Amino acid sequence: MSSRDPEALEPSSIEAVAPGPVEVPGFNPPTALVWFGVAGGAFAWAAVHVSGYEFSLRRCIPTGTGALLSLSPWQIGIAAGGALVAVAAIGVSLWLFLRTFRIDDVAGMERRGDGSPPPVGRIQFLSMVGLTVNALALAIIVLDGVGAPLLTACQQS
């Protein structure tokens, strides 16, 4: 047996200390849950940003009294809702990451055919992407939610 033979791989000692989800039968999260963990915060930011822009344009429409519409509470509420969606997406990504970060030898298991659909390594990668993207999206949502109501609208530059 060569050292590159998949059968020659010795089990890792981490399995004795903390068995990973590979040994847990039936770990197959729904695909929609995985993708929510990846892109939930980004879609929430897009919704917050577009609605904030629309509300900023709506502030310029004079009402019957000639005063500007006060839409800041709506902007703040939509930003808070978007922040909750982003935090939920971070929670899903973190849960998926914690379920998959102790995998032993993903490449060796896939070569031997012991993997699970979808491979656990792919779920781990997508959860790390989700943690990064959603944290950035949450920061942008907070900045968008604070900035949009405070900026003056309806003035020419």
Q: pLDDT at residue 18 above 50?
A: no
Residue type, 77: G
- pLDDT at position 24, please? 46
- pLDDT at position 60, please? 73
Please indicate whether residue 136 or residue 9 has the higher confidence score (pLDDT): 136
- The answer to whether the CB of 103 falls within 8 A of the CB of 18 is no
DSSP conformation class of 3: T
DSSP strands (E only) in the chain = none
Tens of pLDDT, residue by residue over 100-144, are 876 555 566 666 766 555 667 788 889 999 999 999 999 999 998
| Integer angstrom CA distances of residue 65 from 61, 68, 69, 149 | 11, 9, 10, 21
- pLDDT at position 108, please? 66
d(Cα 98, Cα 69) in Å, to the nearest integer? 47
Domain spans, the chain: 29-59+69-101+116-157
Tens of pLDDT, residue by residue over 32-90, are 999 999 999 999 999 999 988 887 777 776 665 444 556 778 888 999 999 999 999 99
d(Cα 142, Cα 87) in Å, to the nearest integer? 11
